[in-house]
Amino acid sequence: MKILCKKCGLVDNPKTTIIPLPQGGGHIKANCAGCGSFIKFLPHSKSTLYFGKYKGKTIAEIASIDRDYLRWCIDNGVIKSNKLKAAIEGVVNG
């Protein structure tokens, strides 16, 4: 993946590291391969839950096991992220 560094102007494959989160999982951080400056946090390729009885599982995995749990999460306001809500609704309703 090519990303432009706004500090040095290098367009290159960034150095990525995972910043662990206390509840599990982590953020994917991209730094310039040339000057080392922070560029941005990268999106995760798969939506994952980092809480509850299915902690660490992807939405697709949970849907294949317990679709009602995902519906419950949406209906009871457990999910705060609009992006995660949309991912769950896409799997549950689609």
CB 90 within 8 A of CB 63: no
pLDDT at site 22: 74
Q: Residue 29: pLDDT above 80?
A: yes
The answer for residues whose C-beta is within 8 angstroms of residue 7's C-beta and 6 or more apart is 32, 35, 37
Q: Would you call 18 helix, strand, or coil by DSSP?
A: strand
Q: Residue 88: pLDDT above 80?
A: yes
Q: Residue 24: pLDDT above 70?
A: no
Beta bridge partners of 3: 12
pLDDT at site 81: 83
Q: What's the pLDDT tens digit per position in 33-56? A: 889 999 988 876 678 887 889 988
Rounded CA gap, 13 and 5, in Å?
A: 10
- Kindly report the average pLDDT of the chain as a whole number: 85
